[in-house]
Amino acid sequence: MAILNILHYPDERLHTVAQPVTDFGPDLQKLIDDMAETMYAAPGVGLAATQVDAHIQLFVADVSEEQNTLMVFINPRITKLDGDCELEEGCLSVPGIYDKVQSRAKSVTVEAMDRHGKPFTLDADGLLSLCIQHELDHLKGKVFVEYLSRLKQDRIMTKLKKNRRKSM
């Protein structure tokens, strides 16, 4: 397994729309394992393939306290949204930035495939619901800060540029 490079906002590759997965062979299995290792090392609770410059409909998630309940979502789609969510979210592609996104549902039903191509349906709420919606946005080429006001986006860009200068 390997730690993958995570793309950072405003990298244009984060806006690439992911394509459906059709091959469940060894390359996909390695990518899933590498994404899981990368997510845990970051540390994060979710990671979309788009964030590691692999533009396929795949994301991994683990919202457990122990970080021992890896979930794999391939070709996911939300079939039901319910309620409103007020949780703050962050993103491995936008390090150090946290904010609430107003258009998140409290609970979702998602249909997807596991790492072997077996279909499943999952009802999720709370942090897992938020994570699923956030990672699905990545697969559609959208980053959570793009839901925020123009003023907040400008402040985030200024902060990210300042942080990059400090790290050089």
d(CA 101, CA 67): 24
Q: Which is more confidently placed, 161 or 2?
A: 2
| 8 assigned ligand-binding residue | no
pLDDT of 151 > 90? The answer is: yes
For residue 20, whether the previous peptide bond is cis, meaning omega lies within 30 degrees of 0, is: no
| 91 assigned ligand-binding residue | yes
- Which tokens go with 141? 């080429």
Query: How many CA atoms lie less than 13 Å away from 67 in the CB half-sphere?
Result: 11
Band (pLDDT 50/70/90 cuts) for residue 161 is: confident
CB-neighbour burial class of residue 79 (10 A; exposed 0-12, middle 13-18, buried 19+): exposed
What's the pLDDT score for residue 34? 98
Contact call for residues 91 and 143 (beta carbons, < 8 A)? yes
Distance of CA 48 to the CA centre of its chain: 4
Band (pLDDT 50/70/90 cuts) for residue 162 is: confident
| 107 bridge partner residues | 82, 125
Tell me the CATH architecture of domain 12-167.
Alpha-Beta Complex (3.90)
Contact call for residues 99 and 152 (beta carbons, < 8 A)? yes
**Chain length of the chain:** 168
Mapped onto helix, strand or coil, the DSSP state of residue 73 is strand
Average confidence score pLDDT of the chain: 95
Band (pLDDT 50/70/90 cuts) for residue 47 is: very high
pLDDT digits (tens, 9 = 90+) for 6-35: 999 999 999 999 999 999 999 999 999 999
What's the pLDDT score for residue 63? 97
List active site positions: 135
pLDDT digits (tens, 9 = 90+) for 82-92: 999 878 999 99
d(CA 57, CA 5): 18
